[in-house]
Structure 1
């Protein structure tokens, strides 16, 4: 009898679960996507348009081809990917996947965690008090692992090849700020300007000679 009563009480909860778990995918060709709290979202995809994820929103992967991606504070998202556009992540955000762009920069603010790699081709990468579980990789972009940030993998600056051989020959600037940690190796396949704060630490460095500094910001050339 007690068992029957438990099943009777549990039945409304079980029936309500699919609705609670339902997540809406949004897909467009031309047009931006903007989502706000109060609803569950799955994958967000557009071709020509930006993606704006509001504060406290939970979504699946977000991607676009020609457009930027902006994620508000305290959001939980999947991976973030664009081709031509910047990606900006607010404070205390959790991404279950990586962050990737080809032509555009990446900035991740304080208290956030990136579940995969952070990658660009032509774009700067900036991290502030952020944890990256994977690697940080670029070809022509600057990299700043800012104050208190932790990269679980390594940093790699690749040599230009293929379609990117005609890219500008400037030297990327790589900075490890105060108390920054890169647990893996720093590998540079082209010339870079490398600055490491006295309180920062990293794995093995190949391809560059670091300049050690102890001021709040790295020296400017």
Structure 2
């Protein structure tokens, strides 16, 4: 009897230790000051934050907000996260990944096939690429950097100041396109942004240009009212 009781106590203690392990505990926040963070595939965690270092989430990970100051952020396929935020670093969402929003200051943003951002994607200096089937529910915006859509969807318009915009074949943009005039000399560029709307693409809403651009629209594309530019038909 005593041996069975001792064995039971030992088993209970071992289970308690395992459940308390940070490798198994769900919804645990992960935070660092210096150093990169990697979250293994299949885990469910809370917020993931570091100051100096990259963040890599494996496949099928569930997490809250993902944030770093200096470092890239890579989210594996079939994952779901909250807000993504970095100051200096690229952001990559693998296929079928979902996020609430993406905000970058300096770095590229890439959304692979069928990736989805439910809210806004904003960038200051960097390219933004949406692969086939990618979707943004809110608006897509940057200041400097090209914007490319490949049979992708944007729900609430595209805005840029100095970047080229390519709305690829079969893409759809609701909410129009807005190319702003630079407010400060710091952001000014004498080069004319190139705006290309490909075959069978749809842009609902006004295409508004506050600076000179080169606008090319496919004969099979559907667009709204054009203000501030004259389209070249391809």
TM-score by length of 1: 0.84
| Displaced runs of 4 or more, over 3 A | none
Is the aligned partner of 1:200 residue 2:200?
no
Q: CA–CA distance in 1 between the matches of 2:142 and 2:63?
A: 26
CA contact (8 A) 2:61 2:76 kept: no
Instruction: Structure 1: give runs of 5+ residues left out of the alignment.
Output: 1-18, 214-221
2:209 match: 188
Question: What's the offset of the Cα at 1:76?
Answer: 1.0
2:215 alignment partner, SS class = strand
Partner SS for 1:168: coil
Corresponding residue for residue 58 of structure 1 = 80
Residue 138 of structure 2: aligned partner: 116
Offset of 1:78 from its aligned partner?
A: 1.3
Q: Deviations over 1:35-65 (max 9, x none)?
A: 0124321100000001000111111111100
Highest Rg: 1 or 2?
2
Name the count of aligned residue pairs. Answer: 195
| TM-score between both structures, scaled by the size of structure 2 | 0.80
Residue-by-residue CA offset, 1:102-124 (whole Å, 9 max, x unaligned): 01010000111101111010011
Equivalent in 92, 95, 101 of residue 70 of structure 1: 92
Tell me the equivalent position of 1:146: 168
Unpaired segments of 5 or more residues in structure 2?
1-25, 28-43
Alignment of 1:1-221 (within 5 A): 23-162=45-184, 164-165=186-187, 167-213=188-234
Deviation at 1:23, TM superposition (A): 4.1
What secondary structure sits across from 2:88 in the alignment? coil
* SS class of match (2:192): coil
Supply the distance in 1 between the matched residues of 2:127 and 2:52 (Cα, whole angstroms). 22
